Amino acid sequence: MTLLVEKELYHLVNNLSETYFNKPFQHDVRYNHRLRTTGGRYIPAKRLIELNPKYATEMDENEFIGIIKHELCHYHLHIEGKGYKHRDKDFRKLLKETGSPRHCSPLPSEKKDYRYRYTCKKCNRAYNRRRRVDVKKYRCGKCHGELVFKEKREA
């Protein structure tokens, strides 16, 4: 999916709002290029939905539409004065009714690979880490066995 211009993005959000919520979307929506770990967010004070543009370009259309539906759940519940936060019963109920996802999938570009591999002497559990670990200081989280350095991969 390509990045939509502001008018197209607003029309997409409004169409999804009318389709799934039977209510119009009457406020602002825009891309926020600074979002990294989330697909979007709703800002209640501004009644603004911000979307991560990487999800529009890197992921499939269904993932992006799911993010918009999730943010619309926050939006409509806030407008109605109901519980719009993740922990609220109203929010979880509306997510189910509209088929919106609770969380978005991680971006392929943000997936980090490991460089160092350690194993436990006792239970042979493997630990992959991006940074080096002091094997004298840390132990296995499962059996408290001693960790042994196995390999270093080149990045």
Domain that holds residue 55: 6-109
49 and 103 together in one domain: yes
Query: What confidence score (pLDDT) does residue 136 get?
Result: 94
pLDDT at residue 130, rounded to an integer: 87
Q: How many CA atoms lie within 13 A of 79 on its CB side?
A: 16
Average pLDDT over residues 85-102: 95
* 129 shares its domain with 95: no
Residue 83 lies in a domain: yes
The residue behind tokens 């529009």 is 56
Same domain, 59 and 74: yes
91 lies in some domain: yes
Give whole-number Cα distances, 65 to 1, 12, 21, 80, in Å. 11, 9, 14, 22
Annotated catalytic residue 71: yes
| Over residues 2-12, mean pLDDT | 89
132 burial (CB, 10 Å; 0-12 / 13-18 / 19+) is exposed
Residues 30 and 85 in one domain: yes
1 domain-assigned: no
The C-alpha atoms of residue 69 and residue 29 are separated, in whole angstroms, by 13
Same domain, 71 and 135: no
Same domain, 10 and 37: yes
The per-residue pLDDT for range 105-135, each reduced to its tens digit, is: 888 887 778 889 999 999 999 999 989 999 9
Task: Name the CA radius of gyration of the chain, rounded.
Answer: 21
Are residue 135 and residue 65 in the same domain, yes or no?
no
Residue 85: inside a domain = yes
Establish if 30 belongs to a structural domain: yes
Average pLDDT along the chain? 93
pLDDT at 53 exceeding the cut of 70: yes
Which one is catalytic: 61, 63, 71, 151?
71
Both 103 and 120 in one domain: the answer is: no
Q: Are 124 and 56 within one domain?
A: no
Apex 30 CA angle, 29 and 31, nearest 5 = 145
Based on the structure, what is the number of domains in the chain? Answer: 2
50 domain-assigned: yes
Q: Can you tell me the distance from the alpha carbon of 127 to that of 140, in angstroms, rounded to the nearest whole number? A: 9
Please check whether residues 45 and 80 belong to one and the same domain: yes
pLDDT tens figures, 57-73: 999 999 999 999 999 99
Shared domain for 94 and 124, answered yes or no, is no
**Packing angle, helices 6-21 and 61-80, rounded to 10:** 70
CA 135 to chain centre: 33
Q: Among residues 91, 109, 127, which one ends one of the domains?
A: 109
